[in-house]
Structure 1
């Protein structure tokens, strides 16, 4: 079999779907693809710090095995031989899951998480495990275990989190696909900041294991180069697994809406919170371009409110503050001070406070579900701002002393964790400050395929404004 090598620019421009197609057609070598990925990781890694561990030997060994299988006509699936990365809070058999914490035991996992297991079953080659803040508790890329992860567009800027390294490595072009988890925006925040696609599917559509202390907010998701990659990963990894009981009773995903124009609710200021001028200008331009095509009925709309900040704070502070109390008692000195602080804050909540929060959550969900029923999808900015300082927990002038500082600047993402609705961030262009801006497409429960279909429309029709890898500084090309 004669393979064609790719130069690194071409490799970085191809979707994971397309790379898989070319491997299946006998055009590309899985070994060569792994070497492309590892070369880019090694080139950029000292600067952006996207990896908790780069698995050179294992990746090369797995790629060689996939190449032998391909030569024998034994393709495992549509990602056969395609390099990917996996967030370090998901298990990969034989590797130590650090979870961003110095308290994690140096014990290799004996099995893989369902999402990782299914991607491996489809033939993917994992080149490394990506960074996360401690136990994925916040929206930045800062961890006691791995330090500061940095944005590939500007290493002085934040990656966002908690799928920090996944956003950075996909944004840098090293791999087309990286797994993530999202309990308050942890896929969509780094996707918007790093210029990638980021999908948070309907709650438990993709099983989450190991479980978290906030399992009724936590989603398994993915960061990708293209919308078609996110759609493929969803198809490959969705479905129940007994390790995640929620996944056993999740509503089946429904087919996309077809045969008519989509009804799109355009929300320029979600929950009455205006984005920065930079983000507002990019979002307005994206909406104008979409309207000009006539591809869908785009109507200005207002989301039901109020913003459920107090609901999220009650669930998050008590879940993390009480869920990690034993670790705080023994290891507080080596843990993230912001996380440790939640232990004391959690003590301020009574059972009645949690019941009130659950009641308020129910009312918010009812309002949001009723709103979603009137539309096919909602279109809004993913973030109200672009990436700020890499070592900062809040942007300049932000609420650093808030119980949860990170939710003060992520008001457009965490409400969809409260509701469990599907949402995807799509990069549309660079803002005037030359940092990525994303739009968020959300939809009704189990309408993931319609959400992805309109996200694909956004990607296709806004392609002229999308600034991809070629726009990056020369040192990151």
Structure 2
């Protein structure tokens, strides 16, 4: 058993003594955010006790996985003490009251700098928090730190000029995926049950698959994104969690419009899913076969899912929209950061800096052609859901590769966007804006996690989450673990 953390309320503050339940660290690592919140609300657990657990586990893992741009120890303990006093007074803010979380370091958190993985940013504290962060704080969550991201979240791996290499807690030699690298790694390590992420090409789902956790990209605009990004029409915010239940709870807490994000909206279609939803099974999305390791794990998962749904093999009705994504991403990042690159290229990620030159190769006609082809792709993907309620496929065609690498062995290192050459199952659904979630479906060769991806129609977030919860329950018998081994 892991170390036990005990907390006697009042020891440090001279108030009436109240004994909380002892909490074994391994029990904490296995618990979900909602479960911890319920136990805080009932008076069984102390928010300070939970913050101490989270900070201990994060610090213990940090030398090996480097998941945090900053651990906010003093602030977290101070905030936890406030949540504890509120709970004792019967003032529970919401279902995550006192629950430790982590936030990706591209989301402003009031009073703290937002570095975005870049040496070009400053230490100026944010004047206000991002919508997703402020809504989680409003539900009582306690932020223990800001998690690592590649520079300005531009790629699908976990290295940045500011924070170095983030590693996978299942094996520190492996890549955790990105760009929500630290969020995926810290949730998988068990330090926090919930972390925030952003996803403009797979940046929530890639680390979810590589790290064996849940990662949700909702419909574009369902969770407001602020500040805006240079690729606004691709950018989603979403949770990375230990369970689908927690992902659904976070989504409910943070969804809905914010005037700072003109794309954000409020839509709550019926959440019901047919008892046996008609699910399109896509074994090789866009005609790209998964690796043998992923195929084997996915096949085992399908056998467990057969009793809970009707699976109908199908193929996606459009080719891989790689050129469309490249046009949008290269021009957005290259032109959006061109002035920064001109001034600071020597201290920036060379791959990101290179986009400023590559962007100049696109004409205005090229860009509008990409928009036209995007519309064609989106229309084709929308038509799929006249035949199916949902789509089911692998999240990634491969499992995690070397932490230091930008591409897996044999990959296209010289491509304009090397990271999209090995993420063909994720970024197309940023082009279409449809909701998608990655759920752990087992461990492959060398105990490398793999994920299955559920994709829904536009605004079908609740249906995606409901079916993901069914899949999670069905797969529970086949999943060896929910968090990575402890150091």
Q: What TM-score do you get using the length of structure 1 for normalisation?
A: 0.97
User: Once the 2 structures are TM-superposed, how far is the Cα of residue 467 of structure 1 from its aligned partner?
Assistant: 2.4
Q: Secondary structure at the match of 1:264?
A: strand
Report what 2:139 is aligned to: 122
- Pairing 1:38-437 to 2, within 5 Å after superposition: 38-247=55-264, 250=265, 252-258=267-273, 260-291=275-306, 293=307, 295-437=308-450
Task: Give secondary structure in 2 for the equivalent of 1:453.
Answer: helix
- Structure 1 gap ranges (5+): none
Given that 1:34 and 1:83 are in contact with CA atoms closer than 8 Å, whether structure 2 keeps it comes out as: yes
TM-score (normalizing by structure 2): 0.95
Task: Tell me if structure 1 keeps the 8 A contact 2:213–2:482.
Answer: no
CA drift of 1:469 comes to: 5.0
Q: Is the 8 A contact 1:152 1:168 kept in 2?
A: yes
- The answer for the alignment partner of 1:466 in structure 2 is 479
How far the C-alpha of 1:373 sits from its partner, in A, is 2.9
Aligned counterparts of 2:142 and 2:458: Cα–Cα separation in 1: 31
The answer to whether the 8 A contact 1:24-1:75 is kept is yes
State the partner residue of 2:42: 25
- From 31, 38, 49, the equivalent of 1:14 is 31
Q: How much does 1:253 deviate?
A: 2.9
Contact 1:425–1:440 under 8 Å retained in 2: yes
Structure 2 residue matching 1:85: 3-state secondary structure: strand
Structure-1 separation of matches of 2:52 and 2:187: 16
Structure 1 residues 72-115: Cα deviation after superposition (integer angstroms, max 9, x where no partner)? 00000000000000000000000000000000011000000000
Contact residue 197 and residue 204 of structure 2 kept, 8 A: yes
Q: Secondary structure at the match of 1:86?
A: strand
Flag structure 2 segments of 5+ consecutive residues without an equivalent. Answer: 1-17
Report runs of 4+ in structure 1 exceeding 6 Å deviation.
none
Deviates more, 1:202-211 or 1:282-291: 282-291
SS at match of 1:234: helix
* CA shift in 2, pair 1:461/1:420, >3 Å: same
The answer to whether 1:442 aligns with 2:475 is no
The SS at the match of 2:353 is helix
Question: In the aligned structure 1, how far is the partner of 2:187 from the partner of 2:284?
Answer: 28
Report the Cα distance in structure 2 between the residues aligned to 1:368 and 1:115, rounded to whole angstroms: 28
Hey, what's the Cα distance between the residues in 2 that align with 1:224 and 1:422?
Answer: 16
In structure 2, distance between residues paired with 1:303 and 1:257: 25
The SS at the match of 1:253 is coil
Q: Does the aligned pair in 2 maintain the 1:5–1:32 contact within 8 Å?
A: no
Most deviating of 256-265 and 146-155: 256-265
For residues 417 and 259 of structure 1, the distance between their equivalents in structure 2, rounded to whole angstroms, comes to 26
1:465 is displaced (CA, Å) by: 1.3
Partner Cα separation in structure 2 for residue 225 and residue 289 of structure 1: 20
Q: CA deviation at 1:251?
A: 5.8
Distance 1:131 1:92 in 2: 14
Return the offset for 1:428.
1.4
2:324 touches 2:370 (CA, 8 Å); kept in 1? Answer: yes
CA distance in 2, matches of 1:5, 1:38: 17
CA distance in 1, matches of 2:21, 2:201: 42
- Are the aligned partners of 2:257 and 2:266 in contact in 1 as well (CA < 8 Å)? no
CA deviation digits over 1:310-366, x for unaligned, max 9?
000000000000000110110000000000000110000000001110000000000
Deviates more, 1:281-290 or 1:82-91: 281-290
Q: How much is the aligned-residue C-alpha RMSD, in angstroms?
A: 1.0
Alpha-carbon separation, structure 2, partners of 1:433 and 1:343 = 39
Tell me the matched-pair count: 470
For the residues of structure 1 that align with 2:482 and 2:62, how far apart are their CA atoms?
16
